[in-house]
Amino acid sequence: MAATKLIDTSTARVLGEAALKLNLRHLQAFAAVAAAGSITLAADGLFRVASAVTRAVAELETALGTPLFERKARGMLLNVYGKAVLVRAERVEREFAAACQELAHGDATRALDARSLMAAMFSGRRLALFARLSDLHNMPAAARAFGVTQPALSAFVRELEARTACSLFTRSARGVVPTRIGAQLAFRCKRALAELRSIDSDVAGIRGVVQGSVVVGALPLSRTLVLPEAVAGLLARHPRVHVSTVESPYDVLAAALRSGDVDFILGALRSPAEARDLLQEPLFDDYISLVARSGHPLASKRRIGFDDLQRAGWVLSRPGAPSRELLEKFFRHSGRASPAPAVETGDLALLRGLLLKTDMVTAISAQQLHYEIDAGMLRVLDFPLATTRREIGIAQRDGALAAPSVLALIVEVRAAVARLPVR
């Protein structure tokens, strides 16, 4: 695939430059040698010449910057680095095996083995390119992001479709849209890429260095206090880690977590039904508060009643947002009508501005407006919403193997929670 320019810096950082450079055939050869304990036996199993397998292992070791085997007279023995890489290699191959089952979909004529599909994908860079095309639905944009020509990207897609005997994309007015099978393959590519992205962090961790990239799904409540403190603590201790955040609704973040695009979600936890196949770790309980500007007529009132709230102007989160649902549930249980907001928004900056400039009231976690409340600009009204408790914590994908960089940030998140101010 001919390159027109280097991959853009932001893409390389988030996906991991080392992961993009990894050759999947080299990883296959390495896993085969590890299983056989011998270059010759591995070459026989792969139907390749021994010299090619030797070269593949050597190039993988060069790419990772460390030997993976102890070369003994009795064979090739994995060292501590090799054992860590083998765990990831096996997880990558399982994703490709699952992809092959999904591609076949009970049709024996489409039978494809994981090794053949890995060979067709060839590298982490191609995995990421295929996944990005499935997300963007735009071939020129995907090609530009990865520094390839559009004809080269088209040829890559045609090659994959020929190899899999499946139509992976359709062209429409909305762009290049993945078919159902194409979307399933993109999902597996992302999960395999997440494993590749962790290899560099695993290897560095054995050396006692925490590095690599972490992608956090940041729900609103985590963005004001917990996550900034945690990231600051992480970078102070481990300056070679790169952190990216994704700010989206929970459903979008959960899908990204399941596909490996996000390493963990920080924010309000969900019910078991919503969080199927996710591991949730509660960190603390939070409550919704009524907040208004310090000079608001209700700010100094000691006994606020429901009638006072009905007469107030309201700015609330959009329908379906957790804080909005908790507020409406509180009013229903109290036998009262829920407030009718004049403004509905999920933008914290707009919310903050309206509270400071008007006599509007909102219902929100006080943590999200911590600095304005601490400065005396905003005030929590004397009307507790005791039934609005919700658990705040970390959600990870069940079965995921977190890299050292991810684990280090989770440690900092827990420490930041322990330092939260008590209200």
Distance CA 57, CA 89 (A): 13
- The mean pLDDT of 133-154, rounded to a whole number, is 93
C-alpha angle with apex 197: 191 to 203, nearest 5 degrees? Answer: 130
Full DSSP string of 175-208: EEEE-HHHHHHHHHHHHHHHHHHHHHHHHHHHTT
CB 131 within 8 Å of CB 184:
no
DSSP notation for 80-92 = HHHHHHHHHHHHH
Would you say residue 340 has pLDDT above 70?
yes
| Confidence check: pLDDT of 386 > 90 | no
Q: Identify whether the C-beta of residue 336 lies closer than 8 Å to the C-beta of residue 258.
A: no
Please write the tens of the pLDDT for every residue from 71-92.
888 889 999 999 999 999 999 9
Residue pLDDT, tens place only, 281-339: 999 999 999 999 999 999 999 889 999 999 999 999 999 888 999 999 999 999 999 99
Domains assigned to the chain: 9-188 (1.10.10.10), 210-284+398-418 (3.40.190.10), 288-388 (3.40.190.290)
Which helix (H) or strand (E) is 351 found in, with range? helix 348-357
Closest by CA to 297, choosing from 310, 288, 308, is 308
Please give the average per-residue pLDDT across 61-75, as a whole number.
Answer: 92
Q: What percent of the chain has pLDDT over 90?
A: 81
SS3 415: helix
Flag whether pLDDT at 101 surpasses 80: yes
Pairwise CA distance, residues 36 & 34, whole Å: 6
Q: How high does pLDDT run on average in the chain?
A: 91
**Nearest CA among 96, 106, 103, 168 for reference residue 137:** 168
Residue 207 tokens, joined: 């050396």
Q: Which of 85-94, 106-115, 407-416 has the lowest mean pLDDT?
A: 106-115
The residues with which 268 forms a beta bridge, in sequence order, are 392
Lowest mean pLDDT of 106-110, 374-378, 415-419, name the range: 106-110
Higher pLDDT, 116 or 58: 58
Within a 10 A sphere around the Cβ of 129, how many other Cβ atoms?
A: 27
